[in-house]
Amino acid sequence: MQATQPPQRVRTPLEGTPASPWDANAPIAAPLCLHRPTVRPEWVDYNGHMSESCYLLVFGDSSDAFFRYIGIDETYRDVGGHSLYTVETHIHNIREISEGEPLRLTLQLLDADDKRLHIFHAMFHGTTGALLATGEQMLVHVNMAQGRSAPMSADLQARVNAIRQAHAALPKPGQAGASIGIRRKP
């Protein structure tokens, strides 16, 4: 008789890493650069480059780094019963990337209110600096027990507002807010 294995689940590279303490006097990079992975063999598809689903995986890992930057980690979730959930994502695939190549992710906070964050990721080749893809996400702060949106705590909102102020002077990325559709000539 074979022993049953526990089900596998997606894990982020930072899972189990506690959030760093927030330093209100520390400068905030604009944009933030919190994630620098290398393209893993399991991310490469039959065309020999990173698969489309893995772009979202990498953007999700960048979001997780951001969450920890602002103080959201497993303790925040387990003790406080709150988390951030993604409610919408738009990805623009611009260039291919191959196995073993370095990536550099940036994150720009476009907007926020007491329950929502509008973030924008840019994925660059870690050596050449070429823009490879962008990802735009709307996140909502959730009370997990109630299963619905909830305002962020005052200290979390203060951190988000500090980042929003630091990012306010950045230009809005060209891909941000783009809709999808077939454009036809009149």
Q: Could you count the other beta carbons within 10 Å of the beta carbon of residue 85?
A: 11
Q: b/e map of 47-63 (b: 16 or more CB within 10 Å)?
A: eebbeeebbbbbbbbbb
The pLDDT tens digits for 102-147 are: 999 999 999 999 999 999 999 999 999 999 999 999 999 999 999 9
Q: Which two tokens stand for residue 81?
A: 């019963």
Element (H, E) at 124: strand 116-125
When the pLDDT of each residue in the chain is averaged and rounded to a whole number, the result is: 94
pTM strictly above 0.75: yes
Residue with tokens 């950045």, as numbered in its chain: 170
Element (H, E) at 123: strand 116-125
Greater model confidence, 24 or 8: 24
- Domains of the chain and CATH, by start: 32-167 (3.10.129.10)
Give helix then strand counts, H and E, for the chain: 3, 6
The pLDDT tens digits for 52-105 are: 999 999 999 999 999 999 999 999 999 999 999 999 999 999 999 999 999 999
Q: Which two tokens stand for residue 76?
A: 């925040």
Alpha-carbon distances, residue 182 vs 70, 179, 185 (angstroms):
38, 10, 10
| Residues 12-26, mean pLDDT to the nearest whole number | 90
